[in-house]
Amino acid sequence: MKVNELKKDGSLVTLELEEGYSELASYVDIKYKKEVKNMKVPGFRKGKAPKGIFISYYGKERLDFDALIEMLNAKYPTIVQENNLEVIDQPKDFDIVQLEEGKPIKVKLSVEVKPEAKISKYKGLKLEKDFVKVTDADVQAELEALADKHIDYDLDDNAAIKDGDLVTASINATIGSEPYSPWTRESDVFKAGKSIIGPKFDSALYGLKANEEKTFSIEFPKDTPNKEIANKAVDFTVKINKVKSAKIPKITDEFIAEKTESMSLADYKKETEEKLRANMELASENKLKEDVSKWVIDNVKVDVPRVMIEREIDYLLKRMENGLRMYNMGLDSYLSIVKKSIEELRSDYEKEAMDTVKLRLGLEAIATEENIKASAEDIAEEIEESIKDQKDEATKSDYRKQLESVRENIAESVTSKKVIDFILENAKIKKKNK
């Protein structure tokens, strides 16, 4: 099939195609054989009507049109390949210019293609890297967190509530004269200092004992994230039912030897410092990569087709649905809870989708400019890295097969990582002072 004309307007390509009328004959036969099976023609068994009789019932114009669609479906992939079109959507605006027996067939159609992205000055970026320093306070906080994991609680009717104690209480919360049900509980169990209501609530309870009751009010500021209580006073009446006094273990060599793989407190401190430093370094590196991604999004020049944004929003919604299934919740139920329509939710995802597409196109443009590609070895390493934590060999094999089936997606991900690494290798990075 010959391309008479190819026009490009942004990411929209319009094609005028031509083919000899005689080429249509074989596709007329294909369509006839498909349709005659389902058509009952008087005087003939179903599927046995001769071609001429069938055409008189089916209609020649209709058959030619259907055959033309069959022909275009067959030839379209070759047209796309020969003209180096990176199509991102199905063809549209189909128009038959000429379809007459004995004359060349001419049709027009349009298709969205991947837009051209331009980005420059990505070498020599000035970036700042977070300063990494592990302090004694950081290590001490980890030691205290370890001790917290091994707290014992003793029921004590005479214990006055202090930070860390386990409290069972009846809570009545009201706003004005109306009950506030999210915080009204018949018997709520929480750790003093870490209740969901907040530090002011916890502070009001310190010093109370079992069977004591207290009434108090808390003013919540305008910027409180929970809009139901923002800029309002919540009145509380709290009766303490039980207090379990926290017995925090002392951090000694014996405790460390029993609860960890270290032999001594000094060894554990050293190991903790090294782990914290490694985690901080990783966080610092990830922050640099986030900064690079943001720079690409802000500096890539590209007109993103609507279809790419909508497709990315579809993906984000699908990911949300999969996450909701873990909580036995469907998307409709979620929308009912948050009081939003699907259109509003799609609108919420608009910026994230746009940024994701712009980042992808920007990184692809740099990859093309610098000839950065994911090798077969890179892809194999990425697959093995993804399944390394699976202990069972059969499970590993299943996951490996699944990942092998999406090699193109993995190649794109690996290439993107290599591009970001390339930008960082060529950047001017200064360490922030703390």
The per-residue pLDDT for 390 is 84
- Residue 56: the pLDDT is 85
User: CATH no. for residue 281?
Assistant: 1.10.3120.10
Q: What is the predicted pLDDT for the residue at 218? A: 96
Whole-number pLDDT of residue 54: 85
Does residue 10 sit within a domain? Answer: yes
What confidence tens digit (pLDDT) does each residue in 49-91 have? Answer: 888 888 888 888 898 999 999 999 999 999 999 999 999 999 9
Instruction: Give residue-wise pLDDT tens across range 316-354.
Output: 999 999 999 988 999 999 999 888 999 999 999 999 999
Q: What pairing do the DSSP bridges indicate for beta strands 126-129 and 428-431?
A: parallel
Quote the number of domains for the chain: 3
Where do runs of H (alpha helix) occur along 85-135?
Answer: none
Three-state secondary-structure class, residue 249: coil
Same domain, residue pair 175 and 223: yes
Q: Are residues 418 and 274 in the same domain?
A: yes
Statement to judge: residues 241 and 303 lie in one domain: no
318 and 380 fall within a common domain: yes
Give the domain CATH number at 228. Answer: 3.10.50.40
- 323 in any annotated domain: yes
What is the distance between the alpha carbons of residues 396 and 408, in angstroms, rounded to a whole number?
20
Whole-prediction pTM value?
0.76
Distance separating alpha carbons of residues 305 and 266, to the nearest angstrom: 59
Could you tell me if residue 27 is inside a domain? yes
Residue 131 falls inside a structural domain: no
Q: What is the pLDDT of residue 434?
A: 59
pLDDT at 338: 86
In a domain, 313, yes or no: yes
Same domain, 399 and 299: yes
pLDDT value of residue 96 = 94
Residues of the chain scoring pLDDT < 70 = 433-434
What was the pLDDT predicted at 106?
95
CB 203 within 8 A of CB 218: no
332 within 8 A of 40, measured Cβ to Cβ: no
Within-domain flag for 401 = yes
181 with 273, same domain: the answer is no
- Token pair 């948050």: residue: 338
Question: DSSP labels for 303-343?
Answer: ---HHHHHHHHHHHHHHHHHHHHTTT--HHHHHHHHT--HH
Which residues constitute the domain of residue 364? 268-431
Determine the Cα–Cα distance for residues 345 and 321; give it in Å rounded to an integer: 12
Instruction: Say yes or no: 102 and 20 in one domain.
Output: yes
H-state helical runs in 242-392: 253-259, 265-299, 306-325, 331-338, 342-348, 350-370, 376-387
